[in-house]
Amino acid sequence: MSDRILTERRGHVFVITINRPEAKNAFDAESARALEAAADTLDAEDSLFIGVITGAGGTFSAGADLKAAARGERGATSKRGGFGFFAQPPRKPVIAAVEGFAVGGGFELALSCDLIVAAKTAKFGLPEVRHNVVALGGGLFRLPKRIPYHIAMELALSGAFHDAEYFHRLGVVNRLADEGKALDDAIAWADALLVNGPTALAASKEIIFHSSEWSDKDAWREQMTYAARALNSEDRSEGLKAFAEKRKPVWKGR
């Protein structure tokens, strides 16, 4: 795996670090391929239940590497799309741990995650319009589903940056952390979620993620596509057995 993306297993939590601090963790083609590989690992390994993604050097990501883009290089992959992540995030829950700037594609990467922990001093925004570029990493359609239309429109048309507390009030950021503590708080939150069944966590994430694609009528059928893995898993049997025996379950992720 490229040294542009570092990974670490902390028990059942998979920590993914964007490691281009000299470029403010901007994404080129190699970075996108490496992040896709990390996402594939999270999805493939039963022992990994939750992912946490963060950036090295005190910033999350400044977005696309414009120097690479000028050379005709795209920070995207054919399978998972932009940054090797946007179009097909992992099926397991991922928490973004944001310090510094998460702007442009960096903001869209955070929006591709399921939960966001951000330092109070972090800044978010979609500045693409300032350069006559269109934000095509999902921000323009994900934001209006999560915050009021006119606020999403203001963010998109102004290109303005706002701090984490602003986005926390809007419900985009789940939890605020002290500066330098976003990763620690995100890992602690991930550890707290591990009391829950991992296959049920993944199924719940996928149903919510895909729910906007379904009509209410279709949702009753479509949700079973994702629930089936959890309902037929060893973990479901273990969860029921542990409840009956009044003990903590031992999850296997399968």
Q: Residue 2: pLDDT above 90? A: no
Q: Cβ(236)–Cβ(254) under 8 Å?
A: no
pLDDT in tens, 30-87: 999 999 999 999 999 999 999 999 999 999 999 999 888 878 888 999 999 999 999 9
Question: How far is the C-alpha of 16 from the C-alpha of 54, rounded, in Å?
Answer: 6
Euclidean distance between CA atoms 98 and 119, whole angstroms: 6
Query: 128 catalytic, yes or no?
Result: yes
Contact present, 124 and 78 (Cβ < 8 Å)? no
**In the annotation, is 234 catalytic?**
no
Please indicate whether residue 113 or residue 245 has the higher confidence score (pLDDT): 113
Whole-number Å distance between alpha carbons of 50 and 161: 29
Assign a CATH topology to domain 5-193. Answer: 2-enoyl-CoA Hydratase; Chain A, domain 1 (3.90.226)
Q: Residue 54 CB: number of other CB atoms within 10 A?
A: 23
Identify the pLDDT of residue 1: 60
Query: Per residue in 175-206, pLDDT tens?
Result: 999 999 999 999 999 999 999 999 999 999 99
pTM to 2 decimal places? 0.95
Residues contacting residue 32 through CB under 8 Å, at least 6 positions apart: 74, 75, 76, 77, 82, 83, 84, 85
Q: Which residues contact 38 (CB under 8 A, 6 or more apart)?
A: 1, 5, 7, 14, 16
Summarize pLDDT for 98-123 with one digit per residue, the tens: 999 999 999 999 999 999 999 999 99
From 30, 36, 99, 108, active-site residue: 108
Q: Which of 36, 99, 128, 206 is catalytic?
A: 128
CA 60 to chain centre: 12
Contact in structure between 185 and 111 (CB atoms under 8 Å): no
